[in-house]
Amino acid sequence: MNIANLVDLILQHSPALIVAVPLIGAFITPLISRLNEKVRNVFVILTLGLTTSFVFLLASDVLTGNIHTYIFGSQDLTLPVVRILFEVDAMSAFMIIISVILSLIAVIYSWSFMKENTGLDKYYTLILLMTAGMLGMELTGDLFNFFVFLEITSISSAALVAFWTNKAKSVEAGFKYIVISTIGALFILFSIALFYGQYNALNMATIASILQYTFLDKIALVLLIAALAMKAGVVPMHMWLPDAYGKAPSSVTFLLVGATQASLYGVFRICFTIYGGVII
Amino acid sequence: MIFNVPFIAVVALILIGLYAVIFKRNLIKMVIGITIIESGVNLFLITLGYREGSIAPIYTSSPGGIMALPVPQALTLTSIVIGVAVLALMLSLVIHIYRHYGTLDVRKIGGPEE
């Protein structure tokens, strides 16, 4: 197999690889850190570097005008809801570039910044999990899958905000963040259930094509925008954000910016993709 | 009318949970409130997939008749697993808060910078 074929193959499977590589790396990290600390740091940086190269490969192809669709599950498109789609357009490509660069910088910065802390195997595992969650949120075209990645991101980021458990304020900020983001995510799940009950679909494009803008859809729109804006720290619901940004380790604050931007990306998807045909 | 009872229960569970989160002053009670909201949302998902007289969606040993829709059940299972993770993380943070402040009353924790 020559190089061009290999690049084509990687490009074809890159939406799956971008999420899978940090996710698998996250679960290998605790094993590697049994060996040596330096080996672990190099491994984490290499994992994120590999993800970054996949992201740039995918983004360079998407920005020439091809929209990528990656199908998990049945390839037979006549059956309903038995597959999960990853859909990558220019907006997703832009957001995954931002997220992956932020996490790569955060990991490189943590090498010296977190040098004197213990429990760093858990720290790096959580960083990789959070990166996988953010990238998944930005790549997915399925509403329930969006919820799952949102929860992965919020659980790991709340644990990272409270990483310095010897400081009372950090733990308090982490608790505030997990309460806010869990309630937000539960209302997102409630509105996904409203969509599913009406249209028997979970895919964003399918819902957008058959959206009737009924009263229930208006309720779902309000709940989705309120919950995602709360997670993005938009002004009336921003009370958790100064605590979380200020009390987290500085290297985690980079990543928190990426996570809040991913929630903001969710607001754009809801407004312009799902409701774009009826309210604009 | 009888088929509306689960939906009324959903709304009641979500409102009770929100009341507990907003008005209770004990951190453990706030965590319980979040779990109650989660139960309400899970009940909503399950109720959407149920039809009167339907059986469990297991194809290999089906006696015939209509089956409940399996997709909401899969969604609920995922949601329950996520809920357990969130619950464990919140309770561990509550333990740390109790170690620092010696109380779980939200009016007493916090305060000025250390």
Q: What is the pLDDT of residues A36-63, one digit of tens each?
A: 889 999 999 999 999 999 999 999 999 8
State the average pLDDT over residues B95-114: 82
**In the predicted model, is pLDDT for residue B42 greater than 90?**
yes
- A171 to B113: CB separation less than 8 angstroms, yes or no: no
pLDDT at A254: 86
Instruction: Using CB atoms, pick whichever of B44, B48, B97 lies closest to residue A171.
Output: B97
Helices (H) then strands (E): counts for chain A: 11, 2
Give every CB contact of residue A152 below 8 A, 6+ residues apart in sequence: A129, A130, A132, A133, A136
Looking at beta carbons, which residues of chain B come within 8 Å of A176?
none
- A186 to B85: CB separation less than 8 angstroms, yes or no: no
State the average pLDDT over residues A122-136: 94
Which pTM does this prediction carry? 0.92
Residues 4-63 of B with CB under 8 A from A: 14, 21, 27, 30, 34, 37-38, 41, 44-45, 48
pLDDT at B68: 81
pLDDT at B66: 81
**In the predicted model, is pLDDT for residue B113 greater than 60?**
no
* pLDDT tens per residue, range A219-255: 999 999 999 999 998 888 888 898 899 889 999 998 9
* Chain A interface mutation, best of B77, B96, B101, highest count of A Cβ atoms under 10 Å: B96
**In the predicted model, is pLDDT for residue A280 greater than 60?**
yes
C-alpha gyration radius of chain A: 19
Domain at B2-51+68-101: CATH architecture: Orthogonal Bundle (1.10)
Least confident of A22-31, A252-261, A264-273, B56-65: B56-65
- A168 to B100: CB separation less than 8 angstroms, yes or no: yes
- Which residue, chain included where needed, has tokens 């060996």? A35
How many residue pairs from chains A and B have C-beta atoms closer than 8 A?
A: 76
Contact A144/B at CB under 8 A: yes
| Model confidence band, residue B55 (pLDDT cutoffs 50, 70, 90) | confident
**In the predicted model, is pLDDT for residue B114 greater than 60?**
no
Per-residue H/E/C for A128-178? HHHHHHHHHHHHECEHHHHHHHHHHHHHHHHHHHCCCCCCHHHHHHHHHHH
| C-alpha span between A52 and A136 (Å, rounded) | 14
3-state SS, residue B57: coil
3-state SS, residue B65: coil
Distance (Å) from the C-alpha of residue B56 to the closest C-alpha of chain A? Answer: 18
- B34 to A179: CB separation less than 8 angstroms, yes or no: yes
Count other C-beta atoms under 10 Å from residue B93's C-beta. Answer: 27
Token pair recorded at residue A195: 């969509």
State the average pLDDT over residues A81-104: 89
**In the predicted model, is pLDDT for residue A117 greater than 90?**
no
pLDDT at B61: 73
3-state SS, residue A202: coil
pLDDT at A80: 65
- A189 to B97: CB separation less than 8 angstroms, yes or no: no
Looking at beta carbons, which residues of chain A come within 8 Å of B82?
148, 151, 155
The DSSP string of A82-116 is: -EEEEEE-HHHHHHHHHHHHHHHHHHHHHHHHTTT
Instruction: Using CB atoms, pick whichever of B71, B85, B96 lies closest to residue A165.
Output: B96
| C-alpha span between A93 and A99 (Å, rounded) | 10
Per-domain residue ranges of chain A: 3-279
* Chain B interface mutation, best of A84, A150, A169, A179, highest count of B Cβ atoms under 10 Å: A179
